[in-house]
Structure 1
């Protein structure tokens, strides 16, 4: 079973003279254990691709299948339940809830899916430790730096048994070292069997992926394996 399949996906915004073709018949498959990076110029459809893959928007036409489930057969509540159960999403805007601590933000999707509080908290603390934020569990977003908030958002995407991780510039607010640490976390999750689809403009981050897909004007124009340096090959293979 594929982790994610997009089949001839189109997405259009607006109408008449303002009509925008964000995706133009895009097809893409991501397998369990595969780390796929998506690159392309601004306006090429990268974020639209992630939003369609996560069921946050519906295609104008085409098919999106997540873990064997065709999203077209689900309503809004069904798509939300699937995201909570199987999909971790790292937004560029982070979308942390200011009134919740770091641990509570990470726990929230698990609690909404019916996981008992004690188990949800244990899973949240493990995810925070994985992203280097164990000491910040009781702190609120306003007390954290931008990079720390980004790590909390990534922990929220990783918590529980997420089989598909969708990441929109997950290291955008981090310095070089922090970015490499987060790439290592994502790479490790994929090596353990999860799938990751990551949008990035940084070739050094794309180098951690198994495959790089290049978008232009809403179409995949190329797909290639990145040229990894020997230090990455030694660490991850």
Structure 2
């Protein structure tokens, strides 16, 4: 099968590996849905490559084709033009001559913008550590692909949200010295709420309990920041 060859092809093919992961921040006022989700139709404001990499943890291996219209939806057009176009197609345009367009297709979309990066090197060195809520948002998204809401977050218990399959916990503070001293302990396992049938996904710098104890308490342990790297890959 013929393939296109050009100077620097290998560099171009591998360039995405050098791009840091960005958080995807929902903008509720621009959504066409009451429930924000990465599994919905999506409108994302931001650079194409960065946006695609931000989607990688959720959609890796599931997308067969992507069409990108270059040099059209630039600057702030994503929220002033693109989202409005899609909204009209969904809701319908009463003045349209075409009956299908007049009625609208129905459906929803979730609107996101690119947030700040979470860099592996920064986490390892303790530089520019994200806030608890921002880190919780990022971890919840990449581990579940589901909507993150701030209201259930409880830093005292470590609970950051519940997905279809998991209760998700985060033991973390944006303080490198604190991170060096804290871990998932037996006391921490015992303090978890009563088991409700869902596995517990616990992110922490390290653990002072063995794998058998984790199994007893229905815990899937994810060490920070190394498990993030695995999920990103």
Higher relative contact order (CA 8 A, sep 6+): 1
Under TM normalisation by the shorter chain, which class is it?
under 0.3
TM-score, normalization by structure 2: 0.26
Q: Which has the higher strand share?
A: 1
